[in-house]
Structure 1
Amino acid sequence: MATIQLGNTKVATKLISYAEKRAHEKGGVDCPAQYAKAQFKATRELWGKTEGIQAHHVIQSFKPGEVTAKLANEIGQDLARNIAKGHEAVVYTHTDKDHIHNHIVINAVSFENGSKYQSSKKDLYKIREQSDQLCLAKGLSIVKEPTAQIRYTLAEKALLEKGKDSWKDEIRESIDSIKGQATSLPDLAHQLKAQFGIETKITPKNISFKHPDFERFVRGTKLGLAYEKETLTNEFERQIERNQERGSARVSDAAPDEFERTGKP
């Protein structure tokens, strides 16, 4: 089973540096992994498209214990070939979490015709389908039930049609408003209780929420994909990784000034 997240960056070299530093396995698609920074840049300059988004980022995470780093990297390369034809890509496989995961970095500009790579939320489902097909071909499990970022019941839909919000929507809105500030599931639970009176129950498999005006808990799976335990956990992990990436960049940027001031690296 593999899950997919999408992102992009205006500074491809920083993303590549971060992903490469922690890689257990790496491999390139239409580009040797060791020359990714230079080749990505050369392609963008060749077509005169150096501004804006420089690279797209796909995180492909696998079920713990289901793949080796080598197999994960091979699947990541196959996925890159399928979803980004004509674009250089490099796949970095990380093993520093319980789940092995790929960081797939795709050059924003095609080396074939100079076209820009297009990636949006609607493309997320197409990429998931491609990932599922590759996993099935390797005998791996997939998410069998269709998922949605937000999952509405018939009762909720009826309220929405009348222009009213449901108590479940209030929970969703509360989570959305603070998950960018939270650093972990326990921290999210603490802030939900402190700010909105919403109780949270975390189990090994699920996360559930209880609105202060209602007596029963509702699982994140009933609220939608965006509110499931695995999705929220991945978001917090990605947020930590982004902060580490920014911290590394600041240290790197500050190093020359420190050398000039002290004469020492």
Structure 2
Amino acid sequence: MSIFTAVRNQKQTAGALHGAMQYIMDPRKTVDGERNLVTGINCTAYTAFVEMMTTKRQFKKTEGRQFYQFVQSFPADAKITPAEVHEIGLEFAKRQFPEYEVLVATHCNTEHLHNHFIVNAVSFQTGKKLHQNHGDLEQHRKVNDEICAAHGQEILEHYGRNPKQKPMKPKEYQAAIRQQSWKFQLIKAIEEALAYSTSKETFIQNMNYEGYDVAWSDSRKYITYTCPNGRKCRDNKLHDDTYLKENMEKIFAYRQAAGFIPLTPEPKEGWLTQAETFFSEMVRLGYHVEQSFLPPENGRTIARNDRKLKQREALKKLAHGHKLSSEEENQKEDLRW
């Protein structure tokens, strides 16, 4: 069975639309063998942004809601190929948004194959603005099930508004597929977002693209994640200290200082170890700066010459039994003279 959810894109600008497209079209996520699983419906995939913006300008509807984004994901144990997942996504987009430009991208770089849909908020045929509510989401889920069933995939048993039965709520819908482990998916999403993020802001944006809301405030001790299924989870419930707020802040501070490039190999010690070392050095530097402003002890002046400081460090190492490099040997001799 597949999950169909709406992504809450709070930022609705042309830049946000372009950023979302760039994210879902990343070939590191969409290439399966020799095929890149990105397709445009009523548009060409790689000119989709220009075409969508042209439609908005043509009908003079460039303000307000720019786009809608949805995710259609499959469990890790589903007997389905990335190409089949892509075909299901294309069928869904054609059926549900026949008058709108839609970009469909299949991500096959994780255990859970999933489709991303970005839908223009303005019809290219009529100029009508697209509006979506909870009822529309339920309808999308029904159609999603019909298409998945036609492709031999398992589906949820009931959606309808039977008078004798309460309608299925979003949380109940997700509860029916708990075997997919929502918390495991959250952890995988965090790991994935971290691989592409250089800062807190880009991390939150990348989590938003995957359908997760992130509440990260300086005034609160924890980071709180809201999953596509409505469940909330704090960082201290993820069973890995790497994801704690204080450690995430250290990771991003280190990445900013080190000029981290997304998806490059991490140091052997791991990011957290490097970050801890970085912060220890910062604390020690702060201590030395503070000491430099204190009155000199016993009337002695504080050495401000870099060479003198290096020479003193060399003698300290020697005093503690450490071997010196040839450069440090020279510094030691210079200091004696």
Do the structures match in fold with TM over 0.5?
A: yes
For residues 44-63 of structure 1, what are the structure 2 equivalents within 5 Å?
Answer: 44-63=56-75
Q: Is the counterpart of residue 141 in structure 1 residue 147 in structure 2? A: no
Question: Does the C-alpha gap of structure 1 residues 5 and 242 become closer, same or farther in structure 2, counting only changes over 3 Å?
Answer: farther
For residues 50-199 of structure 1, what are the structure 2 equivalents within 5 Å?
Answer: 50-64=62-76, 65-146=78-159, 147-149=168-170
Instruction: Judge which range, 13-22 or 61-70, deviates more.
Output: 61-70
SS in 2 for 1:34: helix
2 CA distance for matches of 1:85 and 1:126? 15
What is the Cα deviation at residue 124 of structure 1? Answer: 1.5
What is the Cα deviation at residue 139 of structure 1? Answer: 1.2
Counterpart for residue 17 of structure 1: 22
Which amino acid counterpart does residue 152 of structure 2 have in structure 1?
Answer: G
Which amino acid counterpart does residue 23 of structure 1 have in structure 2?
Answer: T
What is the Cα deviation at residue 145 of structure 1? Answer: 4.8
Which amino acid counterpart does residue 86 of structure 2 have in structure 1?
Answer: N
Question: Does the C-alpha gap of structure 1 residues 47 and 235 become closer, same or farther in structure 2, counting only changes over 3 Å?
Answer: farther
Q: For 1:126-158, what per-residue CA distance to the aligned partner results, in whole angstroms no more than 9, with x for missing partners?
A: 11111111111111111225542356xxxxxxx
Question: Does the C-alpha gap of structure 1 residues 128 and 240 become closer, same or farther in structure 2, counting only changes over 3 Å?
Answer: farther
1 CA distance for matches of 2:63 and 2:177? 31
Q: For 1:90-142, what per-residue CA distance to the aligned partner results, in whole angstroms no more than 9, with x for missing partners?
A: 10000122110000111111001111111222222111111111111111111
Which amino acid counterpart does residue 16 of structure 1 have in structure 2?
Answer: M
1 CA distance for matches of 2:122 and 2:192? 25
2 CA distance for matches of 1:5 and 1:45? 29
Stretches of structure 2 that go unaligned for 5 or more consecutive residues are 32-36, 160-167, 206-337
What is the Cα deviation at residue 41 of structure 1? Answer: 1.0
Counterpart for residue 255 of structure 1: none
Query: Following superposition, which runs of at least 4 residues in structure 1 exceed 3 angstroms of deviation?
Result: 224-246
Which amino acid counterpart does residue 114 of structure 1 have in structure 2?
Answer: G
Conservation of the 8 A alpha-carbon contact between 1:77 and 1:90: no
What is the Cα deviation at residue 46 of structure 1? Answer: 0.9
Q: For 1:178-230, what per-residue CA distance to the aligned partner results, in whole angstroms no more than 9, with x for missing partners?
A: xxxxxxxxxxxxxxxxxxxxxxxxxxxxxxxxxxxxxxxxxx98xx5699864
Quote the sequence identity (%). 24
Q: Is the counterpart of residue 29 in structure 1 residue 41 in structure 2? A: yes
What is the Cα deviation at residue 242 of structure 1? Answer: 7.0
Conservation of the 8 A alpha-carbon contact between 1:8 and 1:53: no
TM-score by length of 2: 0.47
Conservation of the 8 A alpha-carbon contact between 1:91 and 1:105: yes
Counterpart for residue 3 of structure 1: 3
Q: Which has the larger radius of gyration?
A: 2
Counterpart for residue 230 of structure 2: none
Question: Does the C-alpha gap of structure 1 residues 249 and 98 become closer, same or farther in structure 2, counting only changes over 3 Å?
Answer: closer
SS in 1 for 2:106: strand
**Among residues 231, 247, 254, which one is paired with 2:202 in the alignment?**
247
Question: Does the C-alpha gap of structure 1 residues 16 and 149 become closer, same or farther in structure 2, counting only changes over 3 Å?
Answer: same
Q: CA RMSD in A?
A: 3.0
Conservation of the 8 A alpha-carbon contact between 2:75 and 2:180: no
1 CA distance for matches of 2:51 and 2:114? 24
TM-score by length of 1: 0.59
Instruction: Judge which range, 240-249 or 35-44, deviates more.
Output: 240-249
Question: Does the C-alpha gap of structure 1 residues 95 and 67 become closer, same or farther in structure 2, counting only changes over 3 Å?
Answer: same
**Among residues 30, 52, 55, which one is paired with 1:40 in the alignment?**
52
Question: Does the C-alpha gap of structure 1 residues 55 and 247 become closer, same or farther in structure 2, counting only changes over 3 Å?
Answer: same
2 CA distance for matches of 1:52 and 1:226? 35
Which amino acid counterpart does residue 18 of structure 1 have in structure 2?
Answer: Y
What is the Cα deviation at residue 249 of structure 1? Answer: 11
